[in-house]
Structures are given as structure tokens and as C-alpha cells.
Amino acid sequence: MHNWPGMAVGTFGVVAGPMMASSNTFEITLQGKGAHGGMPHLGVDPVMGAVQMAQSLQTIVSRDRDPLEPAVLSITQIHTGSADNVIPNDASLRGTVRTFSDQALDLIERRMAEIVEHTGRALNCDTEFAFHRKYPPTVNHDREAAFCARVLAGIVGESNVDQAIRPSMGAEDFAFMLKEKPGCYVWIGNGQGDHRSAGHGMGPCMLHNGSYDFNDDLIPLGASYWVELASQWLAAGRP
């Protein structure tokens, strides 16, 4: 279970199937040949290679991926150069890829490697590509998700259990446990930020924010869920 800012206190969210995305990072380096900015023909420009590569990589999501299969490819860093009149020797790109399935991830990683290699060749740059699979998608099992939803409904009522909530492209390490054993991951509403003391800014403040403030009103709700979940699971003789 994870608290979720923006959802009202007293509500929960749970869906069968993908709940959160996989988290993966990549690093791309282009090795060119430095030269004077006024004499580009004497060098091999890795800056233009990085620019073209960044644009081409976005075609994986827009053209190679099934439009009904959610995926995100975000380039979050481009590092190159240090002077206005110098074409640098190298450039690097870094970023993240998020998917709800291993199949989509396989496609994206394969196409990224192909685009990096062939774009580098076309522009006479040597390239290196590293792809790091960090967290798999968080995928709830059908039976366990239905069971958890019933337990939650008994605590807060069916109308306060959103079983059609939109999954998040954030990631969660509980995904590793769900790959080994059937289970379910739920969100508990953290509210709109009204609980926050002065000096924390406005609004609910999303996760991983420096001014995030946990809503203590969730504690009895969350504790009740765990007690009821264990009691009903054991009473039903679940394996």
C-alpha cells in the first residue's frame, strides 16, 4: 500500500493488472572529433548527432509501439560542449523508459539500440548504448485485487474504492514481489494538502517533493486495512 496525494482521505484505489510502470534508465554516448566552430568541416560534430538522435528516439513511441500499449521514453539529460566557438569531442544523453509490459520494454530497448547505432554511423560518430532495467511493472493479480477491493469496501464503502483508477507511470519495488507471488498493491488517499502546516506551500504536493507532508489521518485507515486483510484472508483459508 502506498499513500497517494490528490486522492481524498477515506478513499482507496486498486485495479487488476498494471498498477505502476517499470522503471529503466539509459545512457548514450557519441564520440566525434572536436574542431573550431567556424570550421566544422574539419571535425565530426557530436552535438548534431545528439540532437538528431533525441528526435529519432521519440519515433519509437509514436511509430513502433502499439498505440494501445502505454509507454514513455523521456530524454532528461544532454551533456556536451563547454565553449561557444568549439565543436566538442563528445556528447551524452540520459533518460528513462517506462512501460506496463515486458514486451513493450523489449521492443523499445531493441529499437533504441538500432537507432543509436545507425544514427551514429550516418553522422560518422562512434556510439555506445547502455540500457539498465531497474524495476519491473507492478502488476496486480486478478484474484488478489478483487479480494483486496472487497476488504477495502468493508472499511470505507464501495463508493470510496476506485477500481477504475488510472495506473501511474511511476514505479514501485513491490513489483519484484508480485513477480514471485500473487498479490495486490493499493493506493490510499493522502488528501488535497489541507492537513499541511504553514510553510509547506500549496496543494497536495506530489510524492518525492521536498515539502511533502504525510497525512496522519491515514494511519487508522491503513492499519484497519492490514488487520482486516489478514483476518479475512486467514478466515477464508487462503494458501
For 22, the 3-state DSSP assignment is coil
CATH of domain 23-135: 3.30.70.360
Which residues of the chain form CATH 3.40.630.10? 2-20+138-235
pLDDT by residue for the chain (239 residues), tens digit each?
999 988 999 999 999 999 999 999 999 999 999 999 999 999 999 999 999 999 999 999 999 999 999 999 999 999 999 999 999 999 999 999 999 999 999 999 999 999 999 999 999 999 999 999 999 999 999 999 999 999 999 999 999 999 999 999 999 999 999 999 999 999 999 888 766 666 666 655 778 777 777 888 899 999 999 999 999 999 988 76
Q: Provide the β-strand partners of residue 132.
A: 25
For 145, the 3-state DSSP assignment is helix
pLDDT the model gives residue 201: 61
Alpha carbons 219 and 213: distance in angstroms, whole number: 13
pLDDT the model gives residue 77: 98
pLDDT the model gives residue 21: 98
Burial of 20 (0-12, 13-18, 19+ CB in 10 A): buried
What is the 8-class DSSP label of residue 203?
A: S
The class that CATH gives domain 2-20+138-235 is alpha beta
Entry pTM: 0.88
Work out the number of other CB atoms within 10 angstroms of the CB of residue 83: 9
pLDDT the model gives residue 197: 62
Query: 193 and 215 in contact (C-beta within 8 Å)?
Result: no
Pairing state between β 86-87 and 17-20: unpaired
Alpha carbons 94 and 25: distance in angstroms, whole number: 7
Query: What's phi and psi for 224, nearest 5 deg?
Result: -60, -40
Which residues of the chain form CATH 3.30.70.360? 23-135
Q: Provide the β-strand partners of residue 208.
A: none
